[in-house]
Structures are given as C-alpha cells and as structure tokens.
C-alpha cells in the first residue's frame, strides 16, 4: 500500500512553500495597499488567491502525492460551485436591474470610486 508509511517528505519542501505563502500573501496585501483598481486589481487578487490555495492543497495537504482516484473524488465536485457562481451572478444582475427599474435611478446613491 502506497501510504503505509504515511506522507513523509523532506522538511525543505515545507519551508519553501511556507516562505512562498508569506511572499504571495504580502503581494495580495500590496494590491490593496497600493490602491490598484479595476481589472488589474481583480486579476491579481484571483491569481494570488489561486496560487496560495494551490500550494496549500497540493503540498501542505499532500494532495500532490495522493492517488488520482482520491484527487478526482475531491477536486472534481467543486466544479459544480462554478456553475452556481455563474447562475447567481446572472441572478444578481437581474435583481439589480429590477430594482433600478422599480425604484428608479434615485435608488442609486452617488457612486463611490469603486463598486
């Protein structure tokens, strides 16, 4: 059995990932600190988020070394969440437009610099 001895890996890989997580977290904090706006801000937030999440799941949670059957069983179902996000984004836009339609533009308080 592959995992009879458990997940034993050299300590150096944990130190590397640990350090990288600090660096990437610092970058994502800088996104806010430097007041980046618009698409650049959102793209960077998502990139740093997925890099951090990937490191945590792959290395700290040892998913990298698990068998494909376990990887697929755990990592495929969350795809359903993407569908849910899409549906609710459409629904949110619809609700927003309905509110504007019924309450008029006056429902909108003067726009803040970012939405």
Half-sphere exposure of 33 (CA within 13 A, CB side): 6
The Cα–Cα gap between 48 and 18 comes to 15
Smaller CB separation from other proteins, 28 or 64: 28
Residues 6 or more apart whose CB falls under 8 angstroms from that of 47 comprise: none
Q: Using CB under 8 A, list all residues that contact other proteins.
A: 1-3, 5-9, 11, 14-15, 17-18, 21-22, 25, 28-29, 31-33, 35, 41-42, 45-46, 48-49, 52-53, 56-57, 59-62, 66-70, 72-74, 77-78, 81, 84-85, 88-89, 91-93, 95-96, 99-100, 103, 107-109, 111-112, 114-115
Whole-number CA gyration radius for the chain:
21
Smaller CB separation from other proteins, 49 or 64: 49
């Amino acid at each position: 059995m592959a995992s009879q001895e458990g997940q034993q890996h050299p300590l150096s890989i944990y130190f590397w990932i640990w350090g990288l997580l600090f660096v990437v977290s610092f970058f994502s904090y800088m996104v806010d600190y430097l007041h980046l706006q618009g698409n650049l801000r959102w793209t960077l937030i998502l990139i740093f988020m997925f890099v951090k999440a990937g490191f945590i799941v792959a290395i700290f949670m040892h998913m990298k070394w698990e068998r494909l059957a376990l990887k697929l069983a755990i990592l495929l179902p969350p795809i359903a969440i993407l569908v849910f996000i899409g549906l609710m984004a459409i629904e949110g836009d619809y609700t927003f437009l309905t509110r504007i339609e019924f309450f008029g533009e006056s429902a909108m308080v003067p726009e803040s610099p970012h939405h």
